Structure 1
């Protein structure tokens, strides 16, 4: 531990000598002064890690001294010490961003706790986090290699996200590489679980199965509609569990979380399939057969998710819900601003479905733009960019406005995304799609041991562009690359965030029911 320097200002500093000796014995270097003015003079000539400031001093008061310290040395943490328990003094001190607030008479351990909390917080948190994860590492590894069901895989994934975010907050991130290796192992086992289970989820009515994309509205949203309160369904494209966990504290300022219902995205884990399945309430082959005027196949060039409003409208009618609804897709800031200004009209609808596409745009921009790659070189920075967007987004603004209303709010996504690392060679004809995590086409040539190879699309309720079409899904953090110009292709796409295949990050996604606190 480094030798921290403490500046302590109190007009009765001589009476505090036992406390100063106690701190000296604990390895802290304490400089005592008798007034606020002396404290400011001392700060101008030396550097300190923390300032203890008595509130009731002659001359410059503690609050006046605090104001000047924050103006001239904003990064130095200040602990206010006072005999007074008056609320307005506490509020002024807290408003001035003090680091802690202690009331006399002081206890030596109380002072030490405050110092450690402020100066040693990161080190202590890092040590405790690393030690705690090491203790749980073995348990998680044993669970991963057990015969887990779909709910247990959700629990494992959420637990690993928890540790990922905890380790992210540590200084050295010593255990990050270990956790990444454990996530790779988990994704390997999870991929095999999906290969064994996914087809039966779609086809066997007698087995227990998770909530899947095409049943989300029927089971989680439609029961709320027409009950006297407007329902707001927010779908944040490409939102992973780790990103949701960082958004949650900001949302929790205004909302209580009534329930959390993780579900599994269908394959392929892309907007064209998974989000259309959410809005239509159907699996892809059924969409293509019954709504051929809305379904856009792989071989067509037009956008694959331009008919979500129509899918939703037909889904509502098929479900016997004769209700008023709106659909909005937010791609740009001005569209979000317009939506916020129009929220009073939204309150007249039974259901409002709002799609925010920023996270998806960010993942694609990170692939295509060098500057975004440099801003988000790893998972932690990628999460940070998502958080920065959310803090300043019209989505958060609209959620704040709605928190004063009598509404029901559901936040979810269509699929997640994974950072790809290992290339797999695949050969296909010129009509094969371009997605890196799944391919659909004729005569696909790939090492079938390394992928989920679906020779019969009917088994997975997927459309057939051609009679001989098959699907190939990448597993874990693999991505599919053509042999032509292979090295360039691999260097360009390695470490980018992709979706469409099989991984915990892509398939297990959050669905949250919120109730406004007001």
Structure 2
């Protein structure tokens, strides 16, 4: 069985017989033809893995042959071989989707290297990735067991995401399994770390805390406000760090990425808590105290994130930055997205433009409810892929492209991430208990203590007390909280869905990215 079947088209094929033999000794099957017409007829009837194509042939040129080949089979890789190095010829060949080009006279090793680069690329990359991860595995293991602080945990998570994305190139299920096992171990240790340190972080007197939702604007956005260039702050809801890495290349084509950082979402890692904390610059308990008429608890009727603009104006006033001229836009449907596209140029006169874009959160909720989306986003790889596909075709990307040639600062962040849940935990509570799968609050909650982080006094964690004697519990790692009634139905319905509100690397360590126009 040959490694691959090659079609070599060159009117001087007789002088290239030694090269043909060399490729055959390396395991390739090589079919040779001397003109473009025969090549086109051959390809209509015979599948090949790659075409080596001379640019200068009598009858029909290489470029004309290339166009016909692509009509027959768009996917087949073509390596152009040419005596002519003129720039416009190269531009035309590359624009016609050649996979590589070689300059005559070619030697056998040049041709072999090109074949390996194109045909064996996936296998070689997979082998190299697997080998590199095997070398890094021990380093990650040591980092997990060296009592990491909150900065080191951010580095560990970034490295795990890096290897998760690299492992997509690998065809080694065993190594992917090893990585997943290491990621689970990391989440177990991270939950212990958060359990031990969270109350210390949210204590107002603490000077040893990571940047969290309530301090994000103070430390990561407002210092970059520049009266010379407008700043656009994009909050893309429920965006995990790996999803940012999926859309990063799209941003990089239009913007220069200056800083790729992370921060910690507060608990619960849920929109009405984490996002309000971002815009108010306060923990939820303090928002409720200072703005009682604008804060709604889980069980109250009405939207929980309707006051973000008001909260942000109050934060600016408190920080004595109310000289900043800002706009606030929330996009929750396609029509609002199109309005953003049409209005984006009008925002260039402001110092700061806040754009809250709801999509990823809707995607995760819709995926839970709709079988077709469960199929489309069945795991992390497909969840990233569907996020990328949406972003590339979204009004948000369309709007950003419209201002990419202007002098602007761009900061992309999120409110929290999500985690794929698989381990059901039974919780008993009264009728007032909240329904969220990753956290609950209520009176007289009954649960297995080792399965959750519990705050019996919510105020210690900067959280409101909705009813007397309410306590909060948070699911850890990939757990989800279910009631005993109709237990099996809900366990099966929610297993393998993406949820948020609890404690995991994916939910709590989230991206904040600083970019400028190129």
Name 1:410's counterpart in structure 2. Answer: 411
Alignment of 1:78-157 (within 5 A): 78-157=78-157
Give the C-alpha shift of residue 134 in structure 1. Answer: 2.0
Name 1:345's counterpart in structure 2. Answer: 346
Name 1:477's counterpart in structure 2. Answer: 478
Runs of 5+ consecutive residues of structure 2 not aligned to the other structure: none
Name 1:378's counterpart in structure 2. Answer: 379
Name 2:18's counterpart in structure 1. Answer: 18
Name 2:49's counterpart in structure 1. Answer: 49
Aligned counterparts of 2:221 and 2:354: Cα–Cα separation in 1: 10
Name 2:166's counterpart in structure 1. Answer: 166
| Aligned-pair Cα RMSD in Å | 1.3
Runs of 5+ consecutive residues of structure 1 not aligned to the other structure: none
Q: Are positions 1:316 and 2:316 aligned together?
A: yes
Q: 1:92 to 1:173 in 2, by over 3 A?
A: farther
Name 1:268's counterpart in structure 2. Answer: 268
Name 1:427's counterpart in structure 2. Answer: 428
> Contact conserved, 1:428 with 1:445, CA < 8 A, in 2?
yes
> Contact conserved, 2:200 with 2:206, CA < 8 A, in 1?
no
Give the C-alpha shift of residue 18 in structure 1. Answer: 1.8
| 3-state DSSP of counterpart to 2:303 | coil
Aligned residues: 517
Name 2:509's counterpart in structure 1. Answer: 508
Give the C-alpha shift of residue 173 in structure 1. Answer: 4.1
Name 1:240's counterpart in structure 2. Answer: 240
Aligned counterparts of 1:252 and 1:437: Cα–Cα separation in 2: 34
> Contact conserved, 1:167 with 1:173, CA < 8 A, in 2?
no
Q: Are positions 1:189 and 2:185 aligned together?
A: no
Aligned counterparts of 1:194 and 1:186: Cα–Cα separation in 2: 12
Aligned counterparts of 1:72 and 1:226: Cα–Cα separation in 2: 54
Aligned counterparts of 1:52 and 1:260: Cα–Cα separation in 2: 42
| 3-state DSSP of counterpart to 1:294 | coil
Aligned counterparts of 1:493 and 1:80: Cα–Cα separation in 2: 53
> Contact conserved, 1:226 with 1:323, CA < 8 A, in 2?
no
Give the C-alpha shift of residue 143 in structure 1. Answer: 1.7
> Contact conserved, 1:77 with 1:99, CA < 8 A, in 2?
yes
Aligned counterparts of 1:3 and 1:323: Cα–Cα separation in 2: 64
Aligned counterparts of 1:266 and 1:314: Cα–Cα separation in 2: 20
Aligned counterparts of 2:465 and 2:45: Cα–Cα separation in 1: 77
Alignment of 1:426-445 (within 5 A): 426-445=427-446
TM-score by length of 2: 0.98
Give the C-alpha shift of residue 174 in structure 1. Answer: 4.0
Partner deviation per Cα, 1:205-237 (whole Å, 9 max, x = no partner): 454321111011111112233523211100000
Alignment of 1:207-286 (within 5 A): 207-225=207-225, 227-286=227-286
Give the C-alpha shift of residue 23 in structure 1. Answer: 0.4
> Contact conserved, 2:5 with 2:30, CA < 8 A, in 1?
yes
TM-score by length of 1: 0.98
Aligned counterparts of 2:3 and 2:413: Cα–Cα separation in 1: 48
> Contact conserved, 2:2 with 2:29, CA < 8 A, in 1?
no
The 10-residue stretch of structure 1 (467-476 or 316-325) with the greater mean CA deviation from structure 2: 316-325
Report runs of 4+ in structure 1 exceeding 6 Å deviation: none
| 3-state DSSP of counterpart to 1:511 | strand
The 10-residue stretch of structure 1 (240-249 or 256-265) with the greater mean CA deviation from structure 2: 256-265
Partner deviation per Cα, 1:239-296 (whole Å, 9 max, x = no partner): 0011100111111111111112310000000111100000000001000000111111
Partner deviation per Cα, 1:192-212 (whole Å, 9 max, x = no partner): 000111111111645432111
Aligned counterparts of 1:474 and 1:145: Cα–Cα separation in 2: 23
Give the C-alpha shift of residue 414 in structure 1. Answer: 0.5
| 3-state DSSP of counterpart to 2:102 | strand
> Contact conserved, 2:8 with 2:30, CA < 8 A, in 1?
yes
